[in-house]
Amino acid sequence: MKEKRDCKIIQDLLPNYIEKLTNEETNHFIEEHLKECTECQHIFENMQKELKVNTTKRDEREVKYMKKFSSKMKLLKFIILALIIIYVIIVGRRTFIMTSLSEKANENQVHDNYYAKLYSYQGDTLTITESYNKGEDYLTTITRVVNSNQIQKIIHYKKGNEQITLIESDGKMYMQDSKEILNRQIRPVTYVSNGLFANMQYAFIIGIDKTYCNGKECYIIKGDSYERYIDKETGLAVRAIEKSNKEITRQTDIVVDYKYEFNTVKDSDITKPDTTGYIVNQ
Ligand SMILES: [Zn+2]
């Protein structure tokens, strides 16, 4: 028979029993009691219900939180993906522009009839390079001027087998007349790489914008220490700026302006320079 004293003990044990914390012997004792005591059974059922409701509430809160968290994660993933796509588009666009410029430059660099004029400024020094090129022949004049005073002039001449270099520097005039003179031909310059992969690598580290330079529609390619203007039409350099940089201990920027003309050079543009007064220096 049950005793009222037991009820008190059983009711104390019930919460632990519901959470399955009680041992087997206690379980048996509780279960036997519950079979016979409707009062304790009633309390047991209520306790169970209450626990269930609490658990459900807690679960709902967790689900709500997880939903909120996962929608935040989705947004973050979306933003990251969008940034990757934008980056790929930007790099792709740069690669495309440079590749198409390098194709145009390749076409123009194989011209064997071209005139080139370069102005190179660095501080108060101006170097003017003027070059006529026709087939294998060329006449190039390089003049260096400091504060409006010409300090050096070099002429490279090649026609057929004849090759001469004339140098006028510090009031001295001498001539190199040797078959050993290296090829001094001034080739048209571009600043885009050749090939898709090289341009793609390049595209990660530079910026490209459309602009105008020396009256031409250009793309400007910007790096840390340089700006290069490339003619949209020819793929060739229009202007290059090498910025002064502490690492290379240069005080001033170097600016070079490039100008090219194609198929305008005549044989008469490449005539042998006057060598009077030049001392042969072999
Ligand atoms: Zn009881």
Structure tokens at 281: 């220096």
- Kindly give the distance from the C-alpha atom of residue 32 to the centroid of ligand 1, in angstroms, as a whole number: 10
- Kindly give the distance from the C-alpha atom of residue 34 to the centroid of ligand 1, in angstroms, as a whole number: 7
Structure tokens at 184: 């001094």
- Kindly give the distance from the C-alpha atom of residue 46 to the centroid of ligand 1, in angstroms, as a whole number: 14
How high is the pLDDT of residue 93? 93
Share the mean pLDDT of the chain. Answer: 89
The string of DSSP codes covering 213-256 is: ETTEEEEEEE-SSEEEEEETTT--EEEEEE---GGGT--S-EEE
Q: Is the dihedral of CA 191, 192, 198, 201 positive or negative?
A: positive
Q: How much of the chain exceeds pLDDT 70, in percent?
A: 95
- Kindly give the distance from the C-alpha atom of residue 40 to the centroid of ligand 1, in angstroms, as a whole number: 4
- Kindly give the distance from the C-alpha atom of residue 24 to the centroid of ligand 1, in angstroms, as a whole number: 19
| Contact predicate 264/115, CB 8 Å | yes
Residues of the chain with pLDDT under 50: none
- Kindly give the distance from the C-alpha atom of residue 136 to the centroid of ligand 1, in angstroms, as a whole number: 117
Structure tokens at 137: 């022949």
Classify residue 243 by burial, with Cβ atoms within 10 Å: 0-12, 13-18, 19+: middle
- Kindly give the distance from the C-alpha atom of residue 45 to the centroid of ligand 1, in angstroms, as a whole number: 13
Query: For 136, which DSSP code?
Result: T
- Kindly give the distance from the C-alpha atom of residue 241 to the centroid of ligand 1, in angstroms, as a whole number: 97
Burial 104-138 (b: 16+ CB within 10 A, else e): bbeebbebeebbbebbbebeeebbbbbbbbbeebb
- Kindly give the distance from the C-alpha atom of residue 22 to the centroid of ligand 1, in angstroms, as a whole number: 17
- Kindly give the distance from the C-alpha atom of residue 55 to the centroid of ligand 1, in angstroms, as a whole number: 26
The rounded Cα 241 to chain-centroid distance in angstroms is: 19
- Kindly give the distance from the C-alpha atom of residue 37 to the centroid of ligand 1, in angstroms, as a whole number: 5
pLDDT digits (tens, 9 = 90+) for 145-170: 998 888 899 999 999 888 899 999 88
Structure tokens at 76: 């973050």
How high is the pLDDT of residue 19? 87
Q: How many CB atoms lie within 10 A of CB 200?
A: 17
- Kindly give the distance from the C-alpha atom of residue 23 to the centroid of ligand 1, in angstroms, as a whole number: 19
Q: Amino acid identity of 246? A: K
- Kindly give the distance from the C-alpha atom of residue 6 to the centroid of ligand 1, in angstroms, as a whole number: 6
CA distance linking residue 117 with residue 127, whole number of Å: 10
Helix/strand/coil percent split, the chain, to 5: 40, 30, 25
